[in-house]
Amino acid sequence: MHHVQVRIPARKQSYQIKVAGGLLAGLGDDSRAVLGQAARRVALISNPTVFNLYGETATAALRSAGFQVVNWLMKEGEQHKTLSSLSHALAFLSDQSVERSDAVIALGGGVVGDLAGFAAAVYLRGISFIQVPTTLLAQIDASVGGKTAVNTPAGKNLVGAFHQPRLVLIDTETLRTLPRRELTAGWCEAVKQGAIGSRALFDQTVRLLGKTQASQTEVCATIAAHCRFKASIVAGDEREAIDREDHRSRRILNFGHTTAHALEKITGFRRFRHGEAVGYGILVAGEISKNLGMLPADELESLRAAVALCGPRPPAGDLNIAEIINSTKGDKKSVGGIAKWVLLERIGRARIIDGNQIDKGVLRQSLRAALQS
C-alpha cells in the first residue's frame, strides 16, 4: 500500500492519502481511525451509478466499524453540481441529525467529491470529510487539495470553499468499472501533471500508458506519485495565491486549461469530457511554448506521443479558431482581463505568462497545429 502524507502549513491537521487495490473493504476501520469514537453517524454521498457498484461494500465496511450510515444520492452528472443539489444535501444532513462530530464521505468521481466536500465545508460551519474517489481524474487530482465547489449559471466552480479532507482512500480496483472515455480523460490530466511536475513523473506515466497490461502495482505506484506531486503543490500554495506565478504555484495546475475551458464552452459542454479537452489544451500550450522558443521540438514530440497514448479524443479540427481565441479572453483564471497561460520551459518545468505576450499569429498557428492532431 502507498501512503502519501499531506501537510498544509496553515492547518493544524495533516492527513493521509492511502492507495491500493481493495481498500474499500477497510473504509470503516480507516474512517474510525481518523474520526475517533465520538463519531456515530456518517453521511455517504454518492450517485446512483457509483452507489450501485460500490455502495454495499462501503456501507457494510462502515457499519462493521460501528457507524450508522445514511445515504444521499445526487443526480448523475456535472449539470447537477449546483447550489440546488447542495441545498438538498444540506437539508438531508439536517434531517438526519448529522452532528459536528460526525462526517460526510464522498464516494464517486470529482462531481460527487466537489459537492459532498462543499456540503461538509458549510454544514454546521464545517464537519469532517473523507474522500473515496472512484474515477482516475478524482484519484490523481480532484480528491487531493481541498478545493470544493458547485457550478452556477455564470460558470463552473464559481462558488466553493477550501476544506481539506481527513482522509483520502483510493481503491484502484474501482477503476475496473470506469468507462473508457473517463479513463482517457483521467490519463490526459495525468500527462498534464507529469508535464508540469517532473521528468520522472512524466516518464512514469508514459511508461504505464505504453503497457497493454499494466499491473495493479504499477497503477498504484503511478497514482500515488501523482497524489504526492499534487499534495506538494497544495502544501506550498493551498489557496492558489493570485500574486504567485512561479513554477511551483498552484496556478501551474491550469496547464492546458486555458484552451480546454474555451473548447468546452464553445461546444456547449457536450462534445468533450473535461480531460479530453485538457488533452488538446496541453498540445496547444506545448506548440506555443515551442513557437516562442522556450520548449525544444523533441520535448513537444514527447508531449504529443504521451497525449496520443491516453486514448482517442473527439475531433477538434473543425472548431473556429477565432471563436476559441475570443473565448480564452473570458477565462475565469484571467487576471485584470488578461488570460494567463501556463507554458513549458521543458517537461517538468512550467512557466506562467500573460496572454498579451503571445503574438496573435503564434496563437492561431499553435491552435491550428494542435487541434488537427
Look-up of cell digits 459537492: 115
Residue whose CB is nearest to ligand NAD in the complex, by number: 110
Amino acid occupying residue 263 = L
Please report, in angstroms and rounded to a whole number, the separation of the first and last CA atoms in the chain: 38
Torsion of CA 209, 212, 213, 216, to 10 degrees: 10
Give the residue with the Cβ less far from ligand NAD, 121 or 369.
121
As given in the structure block, the three cell numbers for residue 183 are 479513463
Residues in the chain, how many? Answer: 373
Cα angle 51-52-56, degrees, rounded to a multiple of 5: 75
Give the residue with the Cβ less far from ligand NAD, 75 or 346.
75
- The minimum distance between CB 141 and ligand NAD, in angstroms, equals 5
- The minimum distance between CB 273 and ligand NAD, in angstroms, equals 7
How far, CA to CA in Å, does 241 sit from each of 6, 98, 246, 249, 329?
19, 34, 11, 8, 20
- The minimum distance between CB 293 and ligand NAD, in angstroms, equals 31
Give the residue with the Cβ less far from ligand NAD, 26 or 109.
109
Give the residue with the Cβ less far from ligand NAD, 185 or 190.
185
- The minimum distance between CB 249 and ligand NAD, in angstroms, equals 15
- The minimum distance between CB 69 and ligand NAD, in angstroms, equals 19
Give the residue with the Cβ less far from ligand NAD, 6 or 369.
6
Look-up of cell digits 496520443: 308
- The minimum distance between CB 118 and ligand NAD, in angstroms, equals 9
Give the residue with the Cβ less far from ligand NAD, 18 or 274.
274
Are the beta carbons of 125 and 171 closer than 8 angstroms? no
The DSSP string of 36-94 is -TT--EEEEEE-HHHHHHHHHHHHHHHHHTT-EEEEEEPPSSGGG-BHHHHHHHHHHHH
Where does this chain bind ligand NAD (CB under 6 A)? 47, 49-50, 53, 76, 78, 81, 108-112, 114, 134-135, 137-138, 141-142, 145, 147, 156-157, 174, 177-178, 182, 185, 274
